[in-house]
């Protein structure tokens, strides 16, 4: 059925499986307003989607003059993100069915994300994918992408060789993490970073949308 060597598929979450870029932008902009900081433009926020919160805050707000200001921005972002009244992001159309089909096809599935554990567990439960993934790693459990630790932890847990692992993500940070871990990376153009930026990180290919992955796995040898 499949013409490729992959056994383990590891997905980024935001911008790869879930259409959440606007949600992240809104939360960063809301936190900046709350704390009296210069509000970053949407384009600036999209540039840092994919790295950890601490790294993102340092880039978006380089003029912070105290640890307290830094901590207050992070806390304010989280207040916005977990606010009960805020509209929640949804999976991209068809992603639930595709991920479920890949699991039924016999692939091992993982998630390596710059979300925190609380945020990922909430998103997994809300999306109905909490029982599908075999192992997940978050930013509060490993260094920020493009450091390879998240991906290496998933590989170690599943026992799958790096050569049989494919990392799927929408940012250069995902693809560079794959390279740093000695695995293969595949870019998807439905999220934060444009296609030319993804190609610069040397993926095996770029798909216009994650939903194309199952057909690609069936039709392409690596």
Within this chain, do residues 68 and 113 fall inside the same structural domain, yes or no?
A: no
Q: In the Cβ-directed half-sphere of 202, how many Cα atoms lie within 13 Å? A: 8
Number of domains observed in the structure of the chain: 2
Within this chain, do residues 157 and 107 fall inside the same structural domain, yes or no?
A: yes
Within this chain, do residues 47 and 14 fall inside the same structural domain, yes or no?
A: no
Quote the CA–CA distance of 30 and 37 in Å, as a whole number.
Answer: 10
Mean pLDDT of 173-195: 96
Within this chain, do residues 50 and 13 fall inside the same structural domain, yes or no?
A: no
In a domain, 3, yes or no: no
Within this chain, do residues 110 and 61 fall inside the same structural domain, yes or no?
A: no
In a domain, 2, yes or no: no
pLDDT at 83: 84
Mean pLDDT of 11-30: 93
Point out the domain boundary residue: 81, 105, 132: 81
Within this chain, do residues 209 and 138 fall inside the same structural domain, yes or no?
A: yes
Within this chain, do residues 101 and 197 fall inside the same structural domain, yes or no?
A: yes
Mean pLDDT of 84-90: 76
Quote the CA–CA distance of 44 and 59 in Å, as a whole number.
Answer: 9
Quote the CA–CA distance of 99 and 191 in Å, as a whole number.
Answer: 17
Structural domain boundaries enclosing 171: 8-20+90-219
Q: What angle do CA 176, 180, 181 make, to 5 degrees?
A: 115
Within this chain, do residues 146 and 203 fall inside the same structural domain, yes or no?
A: yes
CATH code of the domain containing 60 = 1.10.150
pLDDT at 222: 52
Number of other residues whose CB lies within 10 A of the CB of residue 65: 7
Name the DSSP letter for residue 163. Answer: G
Quote the CA–CA distance of 17 and 12 in Å, as a whole number.
Answer: 7
Q: Beta strands of 138-177 (E only): which ranges?
A: 165-169
Task: Evaluate if residue 2 carries a pLDDT over 90.
Answer: no
Within this chain, do residues 72 and 96 fall inside the same structural domain, yes or no?
A: no
Q: Are strands 205-207 and 108-112 parallel, antiparallel or unpaired?
A: unpaired
Mean pLDDT of 175-203: 96
Mean pLDDT of 45-65: 88
Within this chain, do residues 151 and 202 fall inside the same structural domain, yes or no?
A: yes
Number of other residues whose CB lies within 10 A of the CB of residue 28: 28
Which pTM does this prediction carry? Answer: 0.91
Within this chain, do residues 77 and 184 fall inside the same structural domain, yes or no?
A: no
Quote the CA–CA distance of 137 and 174 in Å, as a whole number.
Answer: 13
Task: Evaluate if residue 169 carries a pLDDT over 70.
Answer: yes
Mean pLDDT of 98-108: 96
- Looking at the DSSP bridge assignments, the partners of residue 205 are 186
CB 201 within 8 A of CB 175: yes
- pLDDT band for position 95 (cuts 50, 70, 90): very high
Run of H or E including 46:
helix 42-48
Within this chain, do residues 98 and 195 fall inside the same structural domain, yes or no?
A: yes
In a domain, 180, yes or no: yes
């Amino acid at each position: 059925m499949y013409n490729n060597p992959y056994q383990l598929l590891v997905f980024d979450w935001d911008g790869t499986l879930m259409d959440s870029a606007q949600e992240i932008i809104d939360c960063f902009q809301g936190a900046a307003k709350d704390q009296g900081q210069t509000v970053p433009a949407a384009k600036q926020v999209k540039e840092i989607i994919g790295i950890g919160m601490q790294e993102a805050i340092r880039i978006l707000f380089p003029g912070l003059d105290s640890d307290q200001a830094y901590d207050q921005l992070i806390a304010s972002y989280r207040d916005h993100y977990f606010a009960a009244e805020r509209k929640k992001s949804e999976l991209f159309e068809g992603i639930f069915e595709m991920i479920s089909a890949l699991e039924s096809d016999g692939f091992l599935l993982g998630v390596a994300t710059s979300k925190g554990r609380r945020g990922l567990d909430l998103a997994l439960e809300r999306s109905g994918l909490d029982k599908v993934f075999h192992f997940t790693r978050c930013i509060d459990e490993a260094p920020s992408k493009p450091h390879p630790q998240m991906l290496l932890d998933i590989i170690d847990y599943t026992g799958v060789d790096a050569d049989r692992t494919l990392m799927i993500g929408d940012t250069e940070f995902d693809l560079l993490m794959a390279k740093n871990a000695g695995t293969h990376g595949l870019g998807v153009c439905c999220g934060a970073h444009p296609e030319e930026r993804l190609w610069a990180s040397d993926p095996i290919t770029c798909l216009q949308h994650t939903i194309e992955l199952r057909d690609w796995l069936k039709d392409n040898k690596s």
